Amino acid sequence: MARLIVNADDFGLTAGVNRAICELHGGGVLTSATLMARAAATDAAVEMALAQPGLGVGCHVVLVDGEPVLPARGLPTLVEQSTGRFYPTLGTFLTRLVSGRIRAAEIEAEARAQMMLLKDRGVRLTHFDTHKHTHMFGEVLEPVLRAATSCGVGAVRNPFEPAWSVAATPGAPWKRKMQVALLRRLQRGFLRSVAVAGLRTTKGALGVLATGTLDARSVRALVEAMQREGGAEEVFELVTHPGYNDAELAGARTRLLASRDVEREALGALRKSPGLQLVGFGGIQ
């Protein structure tokens, strides 16, 4: 039977995101969520996570467009000192990263601080991923893996989408398809680093290409493609961003607004998917 982790990113971003995650978990379609250590609704998300032990909770490590846990002055290359926040765009972050202007030691220290903040509050972290999938790049992956190992976090998202999942995504723009295909070249190095670190991961992530457009049609197409192409013994992760599009979300500096309502409603399609076993990150070897 095909096994799928259904993970919601951005747990803690807003009250509406928290509400959607808890409702979907209660409805039996969401198995996992990744929690932001420093966000507007993190405190409430921690309380919700502790009250729902069946929900697997990971750390959504934020290194771009957010607020650090450690003091900004201790992160001179990672944090914009004039604002005390991470650099606001992925493009700026990557430009600095590939040019060697961000120190690996700062990434490791901040990632560890985010994981430990959640663990110290009683959250049992099942895995980690990163905001905007920055850990697909080795310069981020290696220090964050070291942080995870030191914190006892045993699994990580494989952020690379299989070719058959890309092909099954309805209406995906060609430019995004090309980006996903090019980034897949990093997967071999990713898997090697994860194996060396001794962490577990999935066979791949579904829905990355569909971020912002994931509707019920897309969910059905991706699940059918996984059942046809994915292999009965493999575990994949469906990456989702459900929520309620309210005033709080509009002020949260996220490009995913109306799509969060659509994704929340779309995940109901999983209830009509026979031959599908929904698992958490504890279900991977």
Tens digit of each residue's pLDDT (9 = 90 or more) over 136-160: 999 999 999 999 999 999 999 999 9
Largest CA distance in the chain: 53
For residue 100, what is the domain's CATH number? 3.20.20.370
pLDDT of residue 235: 96
- In angstroms, the CA 258 to CA 145 distance is 33
Which residues, given as ranges, of the chain have pLDDT below 70?
A: 247, 249-260
Question: DSSP H helical segments within the chain, as ranges?
Answer: 15-26, 42-51, 90-98, 104-120, 138-151, 163-168, 174-183, 187-197, 216-229, 247-250, 258-266
pLDDT of residue 257: 44
Spatial contact of 96 and 102, defined as CB atoms under 8 Å apart: yes
Give residue 36's region: left, alpha or beta (phi > 0; psi -120 to 50). beta
Q: What are the tokens at 12?
A: 């803690």
Q: What pLDDT does residue 173 have? A: 77
CB neighbour class for 174 (10 Å; exposed up to 12, middle 13-18, buried from 19): exposed
pLDDT of residue 97: 97
Quote the DSSP letter at residue 162: P
pLDDT for the residue numbered 230: 86
Strands 85-86 and 79-80: antiparallel
Res 213: pLDDT: 85
CB 48 within 8 A of CB 41: no
Task: Work out how many domains the chain is built from and give that number.
Answer: 1
Sign of CA dihedral 185, 260, 4, 49: positive
Range of the domain at 57: 2-283
Could you read off the pLDDT of 238-260 as tens digits, one per residue? Answer: 999 998 877 676 555 655 545 66
Looking at residue 195, its pLDDT comes to: 98
Q: Who contacts 19 (Cβ-Cβ below 8 Å, separation ≥6)?
A: 244
